[in-house]
C-alpha cells in the first residue's frame, strides 16, 4: 500500500477529485494548508500599502491506495492539477505500513 500526498492549487481541487474518481479512487482526505516552494510568496497591495505574502494557500490531498493503483493516481493528479505555471504543486508517495478500518476491524487493502 502507498500513501499519496499531493499539494495543489485550491482552484484545481474539483478537477483533481473528478480525475481521481475516474481512476477508481474511493476516498481522499483534503486539508487547506499554507506554504511556499520556489515561489517564495509574492507582494500584494492592500489599501495603498504593499505587503509580502510569505505563505500561499494550497490544498493538500492524502490518498491511501493499493500498489496497483499508484500509477493511475499519479497520472490523474498530475494531468488534472497541471496549469504549466509556477506553483502547480508537488506529489509525494510513501509506503503505508498498515491500514485499519475502525468500524469493522478490517486491515490492509481491505480497509482502504
Q: pLDDT confidence of 50, banded at 50, 70, 90?
A: confident
3-state secondary structure of 17: helix
CA-CA distance, 50 to 46, in Å (whole number)? Answer: 6
Closest by CA to 80, choosing from 3, 11, 32, 26, is 11
Please count the structural domains in the chain. Answer: 1
pTM to 2 decimal places: 0.86
Chain segment 52-94, per-residue pLDDT in tens: 777 888 999 999 999 999 999 999 999 999 998 888 999 999 9
H or E stretch including 19? helix 13-22
What CATH number is attached to the domain comprising 49? 3.30.70.120
Provide the residue range defining the domain that includes 66. 2-111
Amino acid at each position: 500500500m502507498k500513501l499519496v500526498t499531493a499539494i495543489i492549487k485550491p482552484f484545481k481541487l474539483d478537477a483533481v477529485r473528478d480525475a481521481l474518481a475516474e481512476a477508481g479512487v474511493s476516498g481522499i482526505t483534503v486539508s487547506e494548508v499554507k506554504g511556499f516552494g520556489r515561489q517564495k510568496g509574492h507582494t500584494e497591495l492592500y489599501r495603498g500599502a504593499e505587503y509580502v505574502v510569505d505563505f500561499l494557500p494550497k490544498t493538500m490531498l492524502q490518498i491511501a491506495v493499493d500498489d496497483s493503483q499508484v500509477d493511475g493516481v499519479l497520472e490523474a493528479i498530475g494531468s488534472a492539477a497541471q496549469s504549466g505555471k509556477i506553483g502547480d504543486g508537488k506529489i509525494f508517495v510513501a509506503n503505508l505500513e498498515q491500514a485499519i478500518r475502525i468500524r469493522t476491524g478490517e486491515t490492509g487493502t481491505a480497509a482502504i
